[in-house]
Amino acid sequence: MMEQVPGALGTSASLALRLGQTIFCSASLLFMCLDVEFYSYTSFSYLVTVMGLVTPWSMSLALIDAYSVFINCLPRQPRVLLIVVVGDWTLSFLSLAAACSSASVASLLVNAGNSYCPTKLCSRYQLSAAMAFLSWFLSFASTLFNLWLLPSL
Amino acid sequence: MMEQVPGALGTSASLALRLGQTIFCSASLLFMCLDVEFYSYTSFSYLVTVMGLVTPWSMSLALIDAYSVFINCLPRQPRVLLIVVVGDWTLSFLSLAAACSSASVASLLVNAGNSYCPTKLCSRYQLSAAMAFLSWFLSFASTLFNLWLLPSL
């Protein structure tokens, strides 16, 4: 039995983190996608692209964690962990960039007034950016936990 | 004599990285500050704040590196290295966020047309964001080099 780091791949803390990521990513994607005008702004299209990448990634890792927690514990392989760390790292940078750029564009649109975005649409943009920030935070947390474990393998 | 990691604190590669950071940060700050309208946009004010933090940080580390390279080699202390890594890490996240948000606002303003920003002003905003990206890249590189060294101490 190896030392258990809370939050590393295959533990229940990691499952909780991944579920949180999946929820926040999908929420961000839905808030942005369900109105039709997002593709007229570069940052919003970028946010949709990145969230479209992060959602399946988090979802598949959540499935792996769920399998490992509830059915049987998977053996820990350095190569798999390395791929997970590198993927998480890249995606967390991308989602930070997407969250920042869409938040700044949303705040600019809010300040520009009602002619650019009706209040309902603007608050959806803001909510979507906030969800993207939360998803970045969780994804960064799981990167750090996995990175912590990496040298011990 | 300790093992020399290229790019770690006190080497000539690190001096080059720090000088590059200082140049790009100051360029970004000057491009943004020398016109008077930056404070009417939240992202541009944020960029100026962050670059105002990164410039003295990079400059003082460049001075330490220059002392260590040209005058005499400073002893390597884990505590100092830890502070440098944490500071670099935080500032590189902040500058990535600033660069992304100001780039997206600049691109939005360019698309919005001439009434929002004259061509000359817009290209300055874009240049400033590009400089901030370059400074983020260099700062991230020195974080990684120092982080690599940290476990060996």
**% of chain B with per-residue pLDDT over 70:** 92
Q: Which two tokens stand for residue A101?
A: 């750029």
pLDDT tier for residue A131 given thresholds of 50, 70 and 90: very high
Mean model confidence pLDDT for chain B: 85
Neighbours of A94 (CB within 10 A): 19
Q: Which of A20-29, B65-74, B80-89, B109-118 has the lowest mean pLDDT?
A: B109-118
Least CA distance to B129: which residue of chain A?
A101
Task: Return the pLDDT at A116.
Answer: 67
Task: Out of B59-63, B95-99, B121-125, pick the least confident.
Answer: B121-125
Q: Looking at residues A121-129, what average pLDDT do you find?
A: 86
Is B43's CB within 8 Å of A97's CB?
no
Of B41, B98, B104, the CB nearest to A42: B104
State the average pLDDT for chain A.
85
pLDDT tens digit string along A52-93? Answer: 999 999 999 999 889 888 888 777 788 888 898 899 989 999
C-alpha distances in Å from residue B152, one per residue of A143, B4, B8, B12? 21, 11, 12, 20
* Cβ contact B105–A108 (<8 Å): yes
The reported pLDDT for the residue numbered A60 is 93
Pick the closest to residue A53 from A112, A97, A2, A6 (CA basis).
A97
Task: For residues B134-152, give the mean pLDDT.
Answer: 86
Mean of the pLDDT values across residues A10-27? Answer: 90
What's the confidence (pLDDT) of residue B114?
A: 66
For residues B2 and A104, give the distance between their C-alpha atoms in angstroms, rounded to a whole number: 46
Q: Kindly determine whether residue A104 and residue B105, on different chains, have CB atoms separated by under 8 Å.
A: yes
Residue A101 is nearest to which of B41, B93, B104, comparing CB atoms?
B104
pLDDT confidence tier of residue A1, bands split at 50, 70 and 90: very low
CA distance A90 to A85: 9
Residue to mutate among B90, B102, B108, with most A CBs inside 10 A, is: B108
Both tokens assigned to B52? 């105002």
pLDDT category of residue B3 using cuts at 50, 70 and 90: low
Report CB contact under 8 Å: A96, B97. yes
Contact: B107, A151; criterion CB under 8 Å: no
Residue numbers in B near A42 (CB within 8 A): 104, 107-108, 111
B67 min Cα distance to partner chain A (Å): 33
Least confident of A113-127, B11-25, B57-71: A113-127
Contact A136/A96 with Cβ under 8 angstroms? Answer: yes
Does the distance separating the beta carbons of A104 and B42 come in below 8 Å?
yes
Rounded Cα gap, residues A100 and B129, in angstroms? 13
* Cβ atoms within 10 Å, residue B78: 11
Inter-residue contact A46 to A82 (CB < 8 Å): no
Question: Which of B43, B94, B104 to probe the A interface (max A CBs under 10 A)?
Answer: B104
Q: What percent of chain A has pLDDT over 70?
A: 92
Q: How far apart are CA A18 and CA A57, in angstroms?
A: 9
**Arithmetic mean of pLDDT, A114-136:** 84
Which chain B residues contact residue A38 at CB under 8 A? none
Chain A environment of B37 (Cβ under 8 Å): none
- Please write the tens of the pLDDT for every residue from B5-59: 777 777 888 899 999 999 999 999 988 888 767 777 888 889 999 999 999 999 9
Contacts of A108 in chain B (CB under 8 A): 41-43, 105, 108
pLDDT confidence band for B1 (50 / 70 / 90): very low
pTM: predicted TM-score of the whole model, two decimal places: 0.83
* Concatenated DSSP letters of B59-81: HHHHHHHHHHHHT-PPPP-HHHH
Rounded to 10 deg, the angle between the A78-112 and B42-70 helix axes is 130
- For residue A143, what are the contacts with CB-CB under 8 A and spacing of at least 6? A85, A88, A89, A92
Q: In whole angstroms, what is the distance from residue B11 CA to residue B65 CA?
A: 7
Contact across the interface for A104 and B151, Cβ inside 8 Å: no
Q: Average the pLDDT over B120-144 and give the result.
A: 89
Contact assessment for residue A45 and residue A108, using Cβ atoms and an 8 Å cutoff: no
Q: In chain A, which residue's Cα lies nearest the Cα of B148?
A: A151
Residue type, A78: P
Query: Average of pLDDT values for B60-85?
Result: 86
> Which positions in chain A touch B97 (Cβ < 8 Å)?
96-97, 100
